[in-house]
Structure 1
Amino acid sequence: MNHQGNKERIVTNDEVYQMDRDHVFHSWSVQGQLNPLVIEGAKGCKLWDYQGKEYLDFSSQLVNINIGYQHPKVVAAIHQQVDKLAMIAPSTANLARGEAAQRILAHAPDVFKKVFFTNAGADANENAMRLARLFTGRTKILSGYRSYHGNTGSAIVATGDPRRIPNEYAQGHAHFFQPYLYRSEFFADDESQECQRALTHLRHLISAEGPQSIAAILLETIPGTAGILVPPEGYLQGVRQLCDEFGIVLILDEVMAGFGRTGSWFAFEQFGIVPDLVTFAKGVNSGYVPAGGVLISEAIAAYFNDHYFPGGLTYSGHPLAMAAIVATLDAMDEEKVVEHAAMIGREILAPQLHQLATRHEMIGDVRGCGVFWAIELVSDKNLRTPLADDQMAAIKADLLSAGLLPFIAGNRIHIVPPCVITPDEVEAGLSILDAVLTKHAL
């Protein structure tokens, strides 16, 4: 049911669907082939449509609803901020913005001193690259082929996946292959070989591109959309060492992996390194109001004490987004959401997904941590042949029909529920997944 003015009226799925198809232009799609899911509301880890059909969310939408839907403390904070001050320019000093920066920095290593706020992850990566270029006086950005950094000018060109190809207008970018043992580019037999050969490959690329021309290496700490590719032990340390050797800024993109998703506040904490710049968005306030930003290390922040920064956004540090950040991080602290996500990954998802792989021949690989997992589906386990698109589409349709909202990319199902998901909800979702994979058994 919906309210319009003082009149109550019945809203249907068909009405909302048709309104969307008549008037809304969607991203990443051929408009005539769309069939969008209709959603009326959500709470916790569940969503529903106007007919009352319910879905358990194993996608966190675009892997951003870390604290779950309609968290009462975050919703209340947005209401309170609306009543006080709904909008103010970024050139002003504002309590909500200052507190949001303070809260974020409190969860980061001491080397980080400032936060530049953006509207999302894409423009966070844009501005991180800008900061690195200005700080070093160099122009090139190196990034991985297996990556997604956003759909704005430089961010989409830094992206490695094929969506960059029709969008390659920015200059000064080169790509390299990161480690991915299951589909190794380096003919490796184990994680150690994969790590060392990937680092050798990166060193060769740095040499070929000219170290003196490279401003930054931009990496997702754990590539998300590309497949939740947890780097092998020693890889990120090796990248850090290469950056130090050649005076290159290391930017870690934590837009998807940050703020509890991997079972720690930042994913890089699990790899024993500290980058120079960190980009974030999504989980910082679960997208209740769009927000992103860049964590800036002391050396880079100090450079701009007497050098001009040529960048800015009208809605940088928007008060409603900042209030949502403060409430989100406070609630995550109070409710131990990050620790809960780590427990769910360690005690439930890890063992049960690996158990699923023993029962289903089509599961070729299982990988992840926290509430950030992927299962890779194959038609031939020995050849590792990716499951065909039509088979993946049929699996997705059956998951939705059974009431599970999945995140599917290529031949993978990403298991990425909200960080607050309960053990019983995880069990229910995995039971649906098990049943659907059994139906589609090879």
Structure 2
Amino acid sequence: MSPNEMMLEKSETLTSEQIVELTRKHNYGTWRFQKGWNPMHIVDAEGCYIVDGKGKRYLDFSAQLMCSNLGHKNQVVIDAIAKQAQQLSYAMPGYATEVRAELSKLLVEVLPAGLSKFFFTTSGTEANEAAFKIARMYTGKTKIIARYRSYHGSTTGSIAATGDPRRWAMEPGGKGPGVIFGPEVNCYKCPIRHTYPGCGIACADYLEHMIRNESDVAAVLIEPVVGTNGVLVPPDEYMPKLRKICDEYGVLLIADEVMSGWGRTGEWFAMNHWGVVPDILTTAKGITGAYVPLGLCATSGKIADFFEDHYFAHGHTYEAHPMTLAPAVAAIREMQRMDLVARAKGLEPYLRGKLEELKAKHPSVGDVRGKGLFWAVDLVKNRTTKEPFGTYSDKVAGRPLLVDQIAGKILADGVTIQAWVSHFIIAPPLIITKVQIDFGIDALDRHLSIADALVEGG
């Protein structure tokens, strides 16, 4: 019996229930109480579907964690991983490799023009850590202005720069030196109580006010389209205005495109919607279609030139790991071959129309918003006050959330969807069809009645 056959035989002795129990017993479930965690056993995935231990198939309506942009079991990417493992499975960062050069050349083609020097990581959070260090080394300043309702990762620096309440558990020590927060862009429920378009983009003006009244600001950090915190899309005037402000005060602009990149919004990167190039762009997730963990910190030429004569004080053992780079090359070429960026843009009106129909039908839907194949469905108790059905405080207190209840019903109907506090995120693989979109929307439609029954006056 071969080693592979022996391993298969061993794995087949575990039942699906045993696999779940061992996972619960010896692993941490993220962002949750451990009590009551009952993870679904997944055994297979292909195209837009995942399969559980009992053989039931589910439509992956959020690309798992908004990362499986290519869908599952893309053979070109799988073959690239296998080939790289046979050819060169590891090279330390100080070496040049063919796959490193090949990916670098491709990145220059697809990234916003001018971003031409790269540092590779194994996650989005590490990419952001690199961005913070580079910004501070380049400017000689320390402060990072981030925004509320943002998420930038879970390591010490990136959680310190995260505006949403996932930061709270690490405070005060986890807040980190030199991170301050300003208002997010949220035209549905403006945090500074302005109304677009009459506001004149007051949320950007507020960031300028912060820069003027803070010393030592190195960079402004944004998610161009906010991800987990509600797919918040800025008005068209916001990004050019912010770029102008940063240039005027000599502050770098960092765009966190970990979730919004790689065709998700109908452009290779969300910043392209506004023709604005950041000084630093970070990304991960869709860069490999999530087949292998890879993150990227891309910088402008002026930053690259600075480090010709200044010490670059950063590095990782697995930086530019060949096994992470090969699937990225394959994934980008597959995106080009299938024209998936244009596909996401082309499907936007269809998905938008379906979601607008949900909003018209269900009084619990306060707002739907998004770009490309990246959307949020916001649930509210009252459309006038826009009061949500749940808050993060409810989550950390262990109180049941309505969105989780509805997501459970949808799961039973064969659709997986990401629910976060008071909204759903719809971000399917970019290969999804209209028929599959209909199937996912129909499942959501069936169970929004649970929320409708709880609407004030409903």
TM-score class, shorter-chain normalisation, is over 0.9
Within the alignment, does 1:301 sit opposite 2:321 as a pair? no
CA distance in 1, matches of 2:317, 2:442: 46
- State the shift of 1:109 in Å: 3.1
The residue aligned with 1:20 is: 23
The residue aligned with 1:269 is: 272
Deviations along 1:18-48, one digit per CA (max 9) or x if unpaired, are 1101211232222223121211110011001
CA contact (8 A) 1:222 1:230 kept: yes
CA contact (8 A) 1:144 1:178 kept: yes
CA contact (8 A) 1:186 1:194 kept: no
Deviations along 1:351-386, one digit per CA (max 9) or x if unpaired, are 110111101111000100111000101121222121
The residue aligned with 1:359 is: 361
- State the shift of 1:414 in Å: 0.8
The residue aligned with 1:58 is: 61
Secondary structure of the residue aligned to 2:318 is coil
CA distance in 2, matches of 1:6, 1:338: 38
The residue aligned with 1:175 is: 181
Where in structure 2 are the equivalents of 1:194-209 lying within 5 Å? 194=199, 196-209=201-214
The residue aligned with 2:439 is: 428
CA distance in 2, matches of 1:97, 1:195: 44
Within the alignment, does 1:412 sit opposite 2:428 as a pair? no
AA in 2 matched with 1:356: L
- State the shift of 1:208 in Å: 2.1
Superposition RMSD on alpha carbons, in Å? 1.5
> Quick one: structure 1 residues 12 and 342, their matched pair in 2 at CA, closer, same or farther if it must change by over 3 Å?
farther
The residue aligned with 2:456 is: none
CA distance in 2, matches of 1:155, 1:195: 30
AA in 1 matched with 2:379: L
Where in structure 2 are the equivalents of 1:80-229 lying within 5 Å? 80-168=83-171, 169=174, 170-189=176-195, 191-194=196-199, 196-210=201-215, 213-229=216-232
CA contact (8 A) 1:118 1:313 kept: yes
Runs of at least 5 residues in structure 2 that lack an aligned partner in the other structure: 391-399, 454-458
- State the shift of 1:110 in Å: 3.1
TM-score by length of structure 1 reads: 0.96
CA distance in 2, matches of 1:231, 1:56: 29
Where in structure 2 are the equivalents of 1:300-379 lying within 5 Å? 300-346=303-349, 348-379=350-381
Secondary structure of the residue aligned to 2:188 is helix
CA distance in 2, matches of 1:207, 1:18: 54
**Higher mean C-alpha deviation, range 420-429 or range 261-270:** 420-429
AA in 2 matched with 1:226: N
CA distance in 1, matches of 2:246, 2:451: 46
CA contact (8 A) 1:399 1:433 kept: yes
CA distance in 1, matches of 2:87, 2:254: 36
**Higher mean C-alpha deviation, range 258-267 or range 163-172:** 163-172
Where in structure 2 are the equivalents of 1:6-85 lying within 5 Å? 7=9, 9=12, 11-85=14-88
Where in structure 2 are the equivalents of 1:389-404 lying within 5 Å? 389-404=400-415
CA distance in 2, matches of 1:130, 1:32: 37
TM-score by length of structure 2 reads: 0.93
Secondary structure of the residue aligned to 2:234 is coil
Q: Percent identity?
A: 37
> Quick one: structure 1 residues 6 and 247, their matched pair in 2 at CA, closer, same or farther if it must change by over 3 Å?
closer
Secondary structure of the residue aligned to 2:159 is helix
> Quick one: structure 1 residues 233 and 110, their matched pair in 2 at CA, closer, same or farther if it must change by over 3 Å?
closer
CA contact (8 A) 1:184 1:194 kept: no
AA in 2 matched with 1:200: D
AA in 1 matched with 2:445: D
AA in 1 matched with 2:79: A
CA contact (8 A) 1:195 1:233 kept: no
CA distance in 2, matches of 1:37, 1:285: 24
- State the shift of 1:10 in Å: 5.8
> Quick one: structure 1 residues 22 and 3, their matched pair in 2 at CA, closer, same or farther if it must change by over 3 Å?
farther
CA contact (8 A) 1:224 1:256 kept: yes
Deviations along 1:264-316, one digit per CA (max 9) or x if unpaired, are 10100001211101001001002211100111100000111111111101111
CA distance in 2, matches of 1:248, 1:440: 44
> Quick one: structure 1 residues 194 and 229, their matched pair in 2 at CA, closer, same or farther if it must change by over 3 Å?
farther
> Quick one: structure 1 residues 271 and 23, their matched pair in 2 at CA, closer, same or farther if it must change by over 3 Å?
same
AA in 2 matched with 1:92: Y
CA contact (8 A) 2:123 2:294 kept: yes
Task: Indicate which of 286, 289, 302 corresponds to 1:286.
Answer: 289
> Quick one: structure 1 residues 3 and 383, their matched pair in 2 at CA, closer, same or farther if it must change by over 3 Å?
farther
- State the shift of 1:158 in Å: 0.6
**Higher mean C-alpha deviation, range 267-276 or range 12-21:** 12-21
CA contact (8 A) 2:187 2:234 kept: no
- State the shift of 1:5 in Å: 3.3
AA in 1 matched with 2:283: F
AA in 1 matched with 2:252: V
- State the shift of 1:187 in Å: 2.2
Deviations along 1:216-269, one digit per CA (max 9) or x if unpaired, are 001011110111000012111111111001000100000000011001101000
> Quick one: structure 1 residues 330 and 222, their matched pair in 2 at CA, closer, same or farther if it must change by over 3 Å?
same
CA distance in 1, matches of 2:408, 2:7: 37
Secondary structure of the residue aligned to 1:251 is strand
CA distance in 1, matches of 2:288, 2:343: 17
Task: Indicate which of 227, 238, 241 corresponds to 2:241.
Answer: 238
CA distance in 2, matches of 1:10, 1:438: 42
